[in-house]
Amino acid sequence: MKCDMILAGVGGQGILSIATIFGYAAVESGLYLKQAEVHGMSQRGGDVQSHFRISDKPIYSDLVPMGKADLIISVEPMESLRYLPWLNPETGWLVTNANPLINIGNYPEQDALNAELNKLPRKIVIDGDAIAKEVNNPRGMNMVVAGAASLFVGLDFELIKKGITTIFGSKGEEIVKSNIDAIVAGREFAEKNR
Amino acid sequence: MTKKKMLFLGDEAVAQAAIDAGISGFYAYPGTPSTEIMEYAQGSKTAAERNIHRTWSANEKTAVEAAIGMSYAGKRSMAMMKHVGLNVAMDPFVNSGVTGANGGCIITVADDPSMHSSQDEQDSRILADFALLPILEPSNQQEAYDMVFYGYDISEKYKTPVFMRLTTRLSHSRANVETREPRPQNEIRLPEDKRQFVLLPAIAKKRYKRTLANQQLLLEESEKAPWNKYIDAPDKSLGIIACGLAYNYLMENFDGKPPYPVVKISQYPAPKCYVEKLARECEKILVLEEGMPMIERQLRGLLDRDVKVLGRMSGEIPRDGELNPNIVAEALGLKESIGLPVPELVAGRPPKLCAGCSHADFYAAFVDAIKNKYGDGHLFGDIGCYTLGALPPFQAVNSCLDMGASITMAKGAADSGIFPACAVIGDSTFTHSGMTGLLDAVIDKANIVVFISDNSTTGMTGGQKSHAEGRLFKIVTGLGVDPEHVRIVVPTKQNHDEMVKVITEEVEYNGVSVIIPQRECMQTLRRKTKAAKK
């Protein structure tokens, strides 16, 4: 088993929480893991990305080779496209939040952006913000996207949920529940729309 | 023996290893990608229980000196910094090669090839080689952990500081690490030779000979170290030297089994016996190393003729930038994999000042008071979030050379007749390296305006405590700036006009003015509010 992922978004959107939760499940499953994060300057509202690899065999490189990623997980649609050179063109899936975060003047037109996403044969474009609101977790967009992506990661979904319980446990039962609701809703959407 | 598997960033593995290996003090100034070593130590319960020193230093020089002081006392210490921080610490660093160590001392430097968050991509292995220190360059998080134990052992065995080199990719990448049973700290034990650390010429000459003689012993250590190895393979048309992280990219491309002989190097002096064997048996040698071509240069020598060497200098590997699996694949002539191209509509998203940032309100006032009046070219910048003032919308900053250089560059420009000559520096950068420059300006009565944009934190690296907090007015007046020309303002939109007025007044004063726009960093404030709620 192996899953090479690129997590993408804009600084502050919470891509590392996705990595933490999947990481928990991977470690619980006895898998090897490598996750290269971005710290420092690029966090200031700039594009951020994380290379995230899990495997049942030892992993050498901290970086995913280009063209070899099984999955792009993005919390922002334009950012998901930035990493296409990494995605395996024959088998890779792209899972992205549909809602743009516009903090630059030359952000592309929505239609043009959708047209690019539509060209991809294997993708889930999910309105993470709307679904998060539906489950009463307006700040849980990243968990919704994580739920959709969980369908392609190859980790036991129960362990992913256990990860949420463990990681958000200190913040109280309510937060745990609302994040589990978000991740379940995201996964259900992906099951219906894959 | 308790063996625990933990998920660690490379930086965290180093910190946990030092705690487990019996360290008594961490000394550092924040700098990406090294910051998390200290942050981990500060958050560690064990470190607190063991009363390990782990507060920030004013700069990298003071950090290295304190670490050497602790080593003098016979205890184990570590100084941590980013690559350019080592430049600040070069004086004690190089001389520590001559004084040697007493208690184990490791100087850990995180390089940033590709300049993800830095002004240059210098390779600090070259500086450690210059200082005649043994170098450890882990290829993964587990090695980083294990090497700290080993590093303290050889530091105490050969009485020398040991240098550990990390790079961004290892510092900021998480992986499973198996930890070891902790060992106790050292008791205080002064050096046998009480003049060991006195570098008077007569003593230094003797010490230096000892350092030189040590090199052969360190080479022998290197040749038997477990992380240096010769991995044989049948195809001798090529031999490969893979240093540090480069080893992973090589293995990635061959699924762990390269068809060519490989020398893995993670400790220096480079293991000569393996390199010699490789040169003897293979037609040519490809050198894979992160950063600058250090081994490649050594191998080529001045005449570049005995061994056919491929690498960064001959173009098989790009001369600059960090390595990755694809660059290594290309150098090996393997078919490079690549996905779809990035659609043209994908726009760049550069970092910017946060919404509500105090620096932004300062820049807005500066632009109105100076840039719009005297034109672009009057503001010397420094290192921190506020360097982003060089980019749109303000485009106000004209330099970013090194920590503290804003004040001294402004002074040099003022000496040459530029008016107005202004400097912008953050509070933490000011206490790191700005104070001495300000003293120069005061002594010379330079006609400059210094803005200490005080957000009461070390913002860029994630909001570490600033040494300047609550002390700026006293420091600048103590250095001799006339208190009448030290102006504290609160940078907000409402205070814009007042700030413009203050700046205009101080520009007209012929002498050193210090204006302190003072308002807490939004990110630090948010974290504090969050923590208070808990």
DSSP B369: I
Residue B237 and residue B218 share a domain: no
Nearest chain A residue to B463 by CA: give it. A40
Interface test with B, best of A39, A42, A83 (most B CBs within 10 A): A39
Residue B240 and residue B184 share a domain: no
- Residue B335's pLDDT is 84
The answer to whether A37 contacts B353, with C-beta atoms less than 8 Å apart, is no
Asked if the A2-98+107-193 domain carries CATH number 3.20.10.10, the reply is no
- Residue B1's pLDDT is 39
Residues in chain A within 8 Å Cβ distance of B460 = 40-41
Residue B242 and residue B219 share a domain: no
- Size of the A and B interface in Cβ pairs below 8 Å: 154
- Which of B224, B257, B274 is where one domain is finished? B224
Residue B203 and residue B66 share a domain: yes
In this predicted model, what pLDDT tens digit does every residue of B286-327 receive, in sequence order? 999 999 999 999 999 999 998 999 999 999 999 999 999 999
B337 located within any domain = no
Residue B445 and residue B390 share a domain: yes
- B337: nearest CB among A27, A58, A67: A67
**What 3-state class would DSSP assign to B93?**
helix
**What 3-state class would DSSP assign to B301?**
coil
Interface test with B, best of A38, A60, A94 (most B CBs within 10 A): A60
Residues in chain B within 8 Å Cβ distance of A34 = 173-175
Residues in chain B within 8 Å Cβ distance of A62 = 169-170, 173, 175, 245, 248
Tell me the C-alpha distance between A162 and A124, whole Å: 24
Q: Is the model's pLDDT at A7 over the cut of 50?
A: yes
Segment 417-476 of chain B within 8 Å of chain A by CB: 460-462
Q: Which of A42-46, A114-118, B61-65, B254-258 has the lowest mean pLDDT?
A: A42-46
Residues in chain A within 8 Å Cβ distance of B388 = 44
- Residue B2's pLDDT is 45
Q: Which of B385, B472, B487, B382 is nearest to B435 (CA)?
A: B472
| CB burial string B126-135: b at 16+ within 10 A, e below | ebbbebbbbb
B508 located within any domain = yes
Residue B464 and residue B372 share a domain: yes
* Mean pLDDT, rounded, for A112-135: 97
Domain at B375, CATH number: 3.40.50.970
Nearest chain A residue to B350 by CA: give it. A46
Give me the torsion for CA of A163, A165, A166, A169, rounded to 10°: 150
B408 located within any domain = yes
B93 located within any domain = yes
Segment 49-68 of chain A within 8 Å of chain B by CB: 51, 58-68
List alpha helices for B352-452, DSSP H: 358-366, 372-374, 405-415, 427-429, 435-444
- Residue A37's pLDDT is 87
B368 located within any domain = yes
What is the layout of strands, in order, in the sheet containing B421-426? B379-380, B421-426, B448-453, B512-517, B486-489
Q: Which of B408, B400, B406, B426 is nearest to B118 (CA)?
A: B400
Are the C-beta atoms of residues B360 and B341 closer than 8 Å to each other? no
- Any B CB within 8 A of A100 CB: no
Residue B370 and residue B300 share a domain: no
- Residue A43's pLDDT is 63
Secondary-structure breakdown of chain A: helix, strand, coil percentages, each rounded to the nearest 5: 45, 20, 35
- Which of B224, B241, B261 is where one domain is finished? B224
- Any A CB within 8 A of B338 CB: yes
- B339: nearest CB among A42, A85, A116: A85
Give φ, ψ of B211 to 5 degrees: -60, -45
The answer to whether A88 contacts B349, with C-beta atoms less than 8 Å apart, is no
Tell me the C-alpha distance between B164 and A72, whole Å: 34
Tell me the C-alpha distance between B126 and B102, whole Å: 24
- Which of B224, B259, B280 is where one domain is finished? B224
User: Which residues, given as ranges, of chain B have pLDDT below 50?
Assistant: 1-2
B353 located within any domain = no
Are the C-beta atoms of residues B432 and B29 closer than 8 Å to each other? yes
The answer to whether B33 contacts A32, with C-beta atoms less than 8 Å apart, is no
pTM, to two decimals = 0.96
- Any B CB within 8 A of A111 CB: no
Residue B508 and residue B438 share a domain: yes
Residues in chain B within 8 Å Cβ distance of A117 = none
B261 located within any domain = yes
**H/E element, B18:** helix B10-20
Are the C-beta atoms of residues A10 and A46 closer than 8 Å to each other? yes
Residue B138 and residue B211 share a domain: yes
The answer to whether B175 contacts A32, with C-beta atoms less than 8 Å apart, is yes
Rounded alpha-carbon distances, angstroms, from residue B51 to A44, B48, B54, B102: 35, 5, 9, 21
Inter-axis angle of helices B201-224 and B90-99, nearest 10:
80
Q: Measured between alpha carbons, how far apart are the two ends of chain A, in Å?
A: 21
B117 located within any domain = yes
- Residue B352's pLDDT is 86
ipTM over 0.85: yes
Q: What domain count does chain B have?
A: 3
- With cut-offs at 50, 70 and 90, classify the pLDDT of residue A42: low
Cis ω on the peptide bond leading into residue B234 (within 30° of 0)?
Answer: no
In this predicted model, what pLDDT tens digit does every residue of B432-489 receive, in sequence order? 999 999 999 999 999 999 999 999 999 888 889 999 999 999 999 999 999 999 999 9
Residues in chain A within 8 Å Cβ distance of B253 = 65
Sign of CA dihedral B520, B526, B529, B534: negative
In this predicted model, what pLDDT tens digit does every residue of A159-174 receive, in sequence order? 999 999 999 998 899 9
Residue B247 and residue B214 share a domain: no
Burial of B180 (0-12, 13-18, 19+ CB in 10 A): middle
- Residue B531's pLDDT is 82
Residue B290 and residue B324 share a domain: yes
- Residue B124's pLDDT is 98
Percent of chain B with pLDDT over 90: 93
Residue B117 and residue B48 share a domain: yes
Say how far residue B119 (Cα) sits from the centre of its chain. Answer: 11
Structural domain of B104: 4-224
- Residue B3's pLDDT is 55
The answer to whether A27 contacts B348, with C-beta atoms less than 8 Å apart, is no
- A85: nearest CB among B9, B117, B340: B340
Tell me the C-alpha distance between B89 and B76, whole Å: 19
Sign of CA dihedral B350, B351, B353, B354: positive
